[in-house]
Amino acid sequence: MFGWFRRRPWTATDHWALDLETTGLDPERDEILSCGMVPIVGGVIRWGERYYRRVRPGGDGASDAVAIHGLLPDEAAGALSLEALVADLAERLAGGALVVHWARLDVRMLRRAFREQQTPWPRPEVVDTAQLLARLDRRRSLIEPGARPSPTQLAQARAALGLPPHREHHALYDALATAELFLALKARLG
């Protein structure tokens, strides 16, 4: 009942803003092409500690997705194995929180990758910026009944909060965009 005073501030937990580029939207069938992560430590984005890796696709649907996301065939050929990516992520996610825009797809893709590599899922706290936008909308509706809901696409949500455009469909820059959106939402929501 009185546990509120024990609650740690969100800035006490390291967060990793993450974005995946994939061969499609089916988390049980499609593959990860690249992974971008940007750390948020103490409420500050640490761009110098960013993480970006291309992942070697193994399936037939990879060539179209590689073209969409701007990965050249030789870049995809020199990419990490899924096993190496999972090992990297397991280390980074231990004890931290994950920040993702529309988390459901990316988290399901990650969980499947961990399962396929027989690596325990580190069970990070997951913060979905799309859900934070919905929370902001609920608060806004109390002050401005009938206010239009926030856009849910990453670029439009950022613009609605006054954030600048970013390079889209690249895992690292989408992760940075998500980190900035997260901080803007935390500033508004407390």
Task: Report, as an integer, the average pLDDT of 162-170.
Answer: 94
Q: Count the residues in the chain.
A: 190
Residue type, 51: Y
Residue 29 belongs to domain spanning: 3-189
pLDDT over threshold 90, residue 27: yes
pLDDT at 4: 53
The strand ranges marked E within the chain are: 15-22, 32-41, 44-45, 51-54, 97-100, 125-128
Question: What is the CATH classification number for the domain harbouring 140?
Answer: 3.30.420.10
Q: What is the pLDDT of residue 147?
A: 84
pLDDT single digits (tens) 93-105: 998 999 999 999 9
Tell me the pLDDT tens digit for each residue of 172-188: 999 999 999 999 999 99
Tally of domains within the chain: 1
Token pair 């696409």 is at which residue? 153
**57-66: long-range contacts, CB 8 A cutoff, minimum separation 24:** 57/23, 57/31, 57/33, 58/31, 58/82, 59/23, 59/30, 59/31, 61/23, 61/24, 61/30, 61/31, 62/23, 62/31, 62/33, 64/23, 65/21, 65/22, 65/23, 65/24, 65/30, 65/33, 66/33
- Among 21-25, 72-76, 151-155, the minimum mean pLDDT is found in 72-76
The share of the chain scoring above pLDDT 70, in percent, equals 87
pTM of the complete model beyond 0.75: yes
Q: Is 25 helix (H, G, I), strand (E, B) or coil?
A: coil
